[in-house]
């Protein structure tokens, strides 16, 4: 019974946060404009969700309360330059809205570069090129160079990993890198669902080994952490960062 209750609490919290943040993103001009009252009406759900989360997170024994949550931004930003100043209007509006709503209920608001990596087998666009394979053949070399410049559909996925490539403060300071990304802490069920490949690294046919590729999918996100849980959250990031080296 307790497990169902815990699941319901987290699902309701995620839904309320997502609804409120969507309202802010859809009306970025209201943050600082004369009609800011309209934004307040739209974000009552978000305000109450933050209050509830902040209150419950103060209890260290409340295992049903998430220590942090990821919210996907509308754009994907370069990891090296990710900061509040680099955000597009809809994304910066969400940060400003959260900063305003959490002045009396302290939260840490961070930025994260997220990555999904898939390694697997792929089918070359013209598999007949490897009949009577000769690694010194000039035509083969040209073909493989062309193959490497195009995307391939995987015929078999061998390994999938999810990583937080960088965790940054709003001013762009990196505070943790390369630790596992647990997608269950995201406001949506599958943050990478139906996403196009960001980058592919292709490995050509070698002897008896079929061609393989690594597909990278990259996203940017906000990370919300109640102040009561921030110390533990950051220490776990650093612990997982060290263990993944």
Name 181's Cβ contacts closer than 8 Å, sequence gap at least 6: 70, 112, 114, 115, 162, 163, 164
Q: Quick check: is 98 in a domain?
A: no
Q: Quick check: is 169 in a domain?
A: yes
Q: Quick check: is 7 in a domain?
A: no
**If pLDDT is split at 50, 70 and 90, which confidence band does 3 have?**
very low
Q: Quick check: is 123 in a domain?
A: yes
Q: What is the pLDDT of residue 4?
A: 40
Q: Quick check: is 152 in a domain?
A: yes
What Cα–Cα distance (Å) separates residue 132 from each residue in 128, 129, 142, 167, 227?
9, 8, 16, 49, 64
Cβ neighbours around 242 below 10 Å, total: 10
Sign of CA dihedral 179, 160, 152, 145: positive
Q: Quick check: is 140 in a domain?
A: yes
Reading the block at residue 97, the tokens are 């809205």
At residue 77, does pLDDT exceed 80?
A: yes
Q: Quick check: is 101 in a domain?
A: no
Radius of gyration of the chain (CA): 22
What Cα–Cα distance (Å) separates residue 44 from each residue in 50, 91, 98, 161, 234?
10, 19, 12, 37, 29
**CA pair distance 147, 134, nearest whole angstrom:** 16
Number of domains in the chain: 1
* Full domain range(s) for residue 189: 115-218
**pLDDT tens per residue across span 48-59:** 999 999 999 999
CA nearest neighbour of 185 among 227, 232, 222, 217: 222
Residue located via tokens 């949506």: 188
More reliable by pLDDT, 168 or 137 = 168
Cβ neighbours around 138 below 10 Å, total: 8
Q: Quick check: is 167 in a domain?
A: yes
């Amino acid at each position: 019974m307790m497990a169902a209750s815990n699941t319901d609490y987290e699902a309701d919290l995620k839904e309320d946060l997502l609804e409120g943040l969507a309202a802010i993103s859809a009306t970025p001009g209201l943050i600082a404009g004369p009609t800011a009252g309209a934004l307040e009406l739209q974000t009552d759900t978000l305000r109450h969700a933050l209050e509830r989360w902040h209150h419950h997170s103060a209890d260290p024994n409340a295992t049903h309360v998430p220590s942090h949550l990821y919210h996907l931004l509308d754009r994907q930003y370069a990891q090296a330059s990710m900061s509040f100043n680099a955000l597009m209007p809809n994304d910066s509006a969400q940060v400003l809205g959260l900063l305003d709503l959490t002045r009396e209920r302290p939260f840490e608001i961070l930025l994260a570069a997220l990555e999904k990596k898939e390694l697997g087998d792929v089918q070359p666009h013209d598999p007949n090129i490897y009949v009577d394979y000769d690694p010194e053949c000039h035509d083969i070399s040209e073909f493989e160079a062309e193959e490497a410049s195009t995307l391939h559909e995987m015929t078999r996925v061998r390994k999938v990993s999810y990583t937080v490539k960088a965790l940054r403060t709003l001013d762009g300071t990196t505070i943790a890198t390369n630790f596992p990304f647990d997608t269950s802490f995201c406001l949506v069920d599958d943050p990478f669902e139906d996403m196009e490949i960001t980058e592919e690294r292709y490995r050509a046919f070698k002897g008896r080994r079929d061609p393989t590729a690594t597909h990278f999918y990259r996203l940017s996100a906000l990370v919300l952490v109640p102040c009561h849980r921030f110390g533990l959250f950051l220490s776990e990031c650093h612990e997982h960062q060290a263990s993944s080296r």
